[in-house]
């Protein structure tokens, strides 16, 4: 089994049934970590899960073909990456029911306009990204970027 290919099969359920029944870990988050090239940290989301926990999670998987092979994924994961902040106090927070390793998020802005920019932000250690709008269409800004406010002043209109 190829780790990334198996993770790519995941439907990325919003309210993942595999995590609900697992009990000790978060298999959905582990699979997401692998899908988004963070396999080194994926094992921390399965820490403490037994073979039985993962078997229950596989049974709960709603994949249309056959369940994501969580037990095989767990065996194929690399050793957990050492925490760079070992011994320091945790900055972990719960934000709207989502557990975050720290409270530092990118604001909705030009620094997170595409996948590559967001991927680099996560590599740099940001916990998340806020978006005001997400769509699959190309956005064309029709309003002018500069506007006269009064002589001799000028100002910027919505830079996003």
Q: Which sequence spans correspond to the domains of the chain?
A: 3-76, 83-160
In Å, what is the CA distance from 159 to each residue of 130, 145, 147?
Answer: 16, 7, 12
Q: Does domain 3-76 have CATH number 1.10.1060.10?
A: yes
Dump pLDDT digits (tens) for 44-68: 888 889 999 999 999 999 988 899 9
Quickly count: other Cβ atoms within 10 Å of residue 8's Cβ: 12
Q: Identify the residue whose tokens are 């993770």.
A: 7
Listed residue (86, 62, 73) closest to 34, CA to CA = 73
Predicted pLDDT at 149: 57
Dump pLDDT digits (tens) for 71-129: 999 999 887 656 666 677 888 888 888 888 888 888 888 777 777 888 888 878 888 88
**Whole-prediction pTM value?**
0.54
Is-cis flag, bond preceding 152, omega within 30? yes
Cα 78 to chain center, whole Å? 19
Whether the per-residue pLDDT at 142 is higher than 70: the answer is no
Q: Identify the residue whose tokens are 């306009």.
A: 113
């Amino acid at each position: 089994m190829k780790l990334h290919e198996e993770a790519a099969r995941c439907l990325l359920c919003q309210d993942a049934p595999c995590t609900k029944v697992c009990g000790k870990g978060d298999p959905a988050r582990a699979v997401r970590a692998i899908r988004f090239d963070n396999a080194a940290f994926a094992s921390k989301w399965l820490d403490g899960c037994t073979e039985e926990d993962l078997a229950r999670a596989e049974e709960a998987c709603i994949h249309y073909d056959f369940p994501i092979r969580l037990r095989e994924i767990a065996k194929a994961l690399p050793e957990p990456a050492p925490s760079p902040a070992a011994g320091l106090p945790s900055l972990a927070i719960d934000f709207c029911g989502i557990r975050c390793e720290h409270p530092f998020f990118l604001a909705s802005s030009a620094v997170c306009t595409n996948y590559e920019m967001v991927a680099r932000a996560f590599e740099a250690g940001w916990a998340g990204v806020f978006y005001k709008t997400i769509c699959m269409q190309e956005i064309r800004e029709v309003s002018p970027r500069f506007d006269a406010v009064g002589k001799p002043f000028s100002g910027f209109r919505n830079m996003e």
